[in-house]
Amino acid sequence: MRKSLIVLLVALFVGGFFVFKNNIFLKNELSKLMASEIVYYPKDSNESSTTVGGNITSSVGLDLAGSALPSFAQPSETSTEIKNQPINYCGNNMASLNPEDQKYCFKPPKENAFRLFEINLTDNKILFYENGVVQKIFPIAYQAPYGIWFETPTGYFDIGVKTRKLKSSVVPVFMEDAVQFYEDFFIHNIPYWGDGSKVTSQFSGGCIRLNDDIAKTFYDTAKTGDAVVSYVTLDNAKLKDNFFAPVNLSQFWVRQRYNSPIRSGGVWSGDKKEEYIQHAGLDLAPYKDAVDRGVYAIYPGVVVNIISNGHGDAGLGNTIILEHKINGEKIYSLYGHLSSIEAGIKIGDIISGGQKIATVGNTGYGCDYWKIGKDGCDQPGENDIHLHLEIKSEPVIGSPKSDTCVIPNGKITNCVGYTSDNPWLFGYQDPMNFLFSSF
């Protein structure tokens, strides 16, 4: 390590004798030493970009020749200090942020996209990243309450249509600076009635409201096609007594909530509730820098079913189901999309609470099927790594009670992972309420 650093410094001070094309060699060697290089691939460009110590520059047209190392990358007296230097994803923008928002500078973006909006429903903030760096943070005035039909959706989306003025097809109100982020769900200003008076009710029908001035800035910033991730954090989650976390809570976030609406088919119709199915489980995704990607039993139990990827998995991939006896009642926990199940675990085994049983993945239909973007065994998109967790009344891969769903491709099938109405009606429980006393 020390030898590499000396060679690098010599190359810098004798830069007049050596020419590194666009300084790619120098940049990459420095990145390796800092163990913090992340490459982003813009959706609308063939250029790549690189993060070094949280400061991102295009790999084309770099102009570092003959200059000293930038202050963020100055070697410290020990290589340990360099290696442990936290990555700042706000770059030079950090100083302009409110102190309370600077905590977001040290979490990696959740999708590898050139332009990305992260909707943090826990903190009521929208983070805008460009080329991996936080550019702006927009405060949310209001979102739909948790646990109701048509709660604000969670998952991976894209910015759709934009309109300066939109009339709701549900109630006679108008919304300005409206930006579609998923089907019938928009980010917009505070709605108003036909006479111009503002709506005082906080019910949003799943849309996200911004104060008027914030909504205008957001509208001007967003572009159709920009990536969107809507999510919840686990920062405030407190486990109930005798329960265990299914994943390392400090290294995971909620990719999709229980009861989150999913469009099942048809053509977008403006602002109308129709043709939605509901997520019957809880999807937990690891942060990009997560070290612990293990899956753990939420309670002592017995293995009652193991489904292998491609063998009747119905899209859940490698899956394990545990039976628990809680307050005299049999309850089942299902863990799906697993990359692998711990060696030696078999049906009939007694499992301790908190025991590692698997590793998260994106398996389904016999391959690593689930992707960010278009799903499929042969699709080149970024892997959608996550745990699909269900709490249910029967040890089955699908709905405990008979239910048919119209899935996004228009096909009518037995429901697996989703329900046609409130999941509670079909034998499911909300994993967040089941496991945590507060979140």
Q: Is 23 in a helix, a strand, or coil? A: helix
C-alpha span between 409 and 265 (Å, rounded): 7
**Residue-wise pLDDT tens digits, 332-388:** 999 999 999 999 999 999 999 999 999 999 999 999 999 999 999 999 999 999 999
The per-residue pLDDT for 274 is 52
Enumerate residues 6+ apart whose C-beta is below 8 A from 103.
none
**Residue-wise pLDDT tens digits, 170-188:** 788 999 999 999 998 999 9
Q: Kindly list the distances between the CA atom of residue 146 and the CA atoms of 190, 261, 428, in Å, as whole numbers in the listed order.
A: 20, 12, 17
Q: Kindly list the distances between the CA atom of residue 389 and the CA atoms of 190, 315, 354, in Å, as whole numbers in the listed order.
A: 35, 14, 15
Enumerate residues 6+ apart whose C-beta is below 8 A from 248.
290, 292, 294
The per-residue pLDDT for 188 is 97
Q: Which amino acid is at 118?
A: E
Looking from the CA of 360 toward its CB, the CA atoms found within 13 Å total 27
Looking from the CA of 328 toward its CB, the CA atoms found within 13 Å total 0
| Three state DSSP letters for 213-224 | HHHHHHHHHCCC
390, containing H or E segment? strand 387-392
Q: Give the chain's domains with CATH numbers.
A: 2-87 (no CATH), 94-230 (2.40.440.10), 235-438 (2.70.70.10)
The per-residue pLDDT for 59 is 30
Find out whether 33 and 27 touch, Cβ atoms under 8 Å.
no
C-alpha span between 398 and 350 (Å, rounded): 23
Nearest CA among 409, 411, 414, 377 for reference residue 397: 414
Find out whether 280 and 388 touch, Cβ atoms under 8 Å.
no
C-alpha span between 65 and 12 (Å, rounded): 8
C-alpha span between 133 and 129 (Å, rounded): 5
* Phi then psi dihedrals of residue 325, to 5 deg: -115, 110
Enumerate residues 6+ apart whose C-beta is below 8 A from 157.
181, 182, 227, 228, 229, 230
The structure tokens listed for 207 are 């849309």
Number of other CB atoms surrounding residue 347 within 10 Å: 11
> What is the pairing mode between strands 418-419 and 387-392?
unpaired
- Which residue positions in the chain have pLDDT lower than 50? 1-82, 267-273
Paired with 187 in beta bridges are: 179, 208
The structure tokens listed for 342 are 């711990």
C-alpha span between 40 and 423 (Å, rounded): 38
| Three state DSSP letters for 280-331 | CCEEEEECCCCCCCEEECCCCEEEEEEECCCCCCCCCCEEEEEEEEECCEEE
Rg for the chain (alpha carbons), in Å? 24
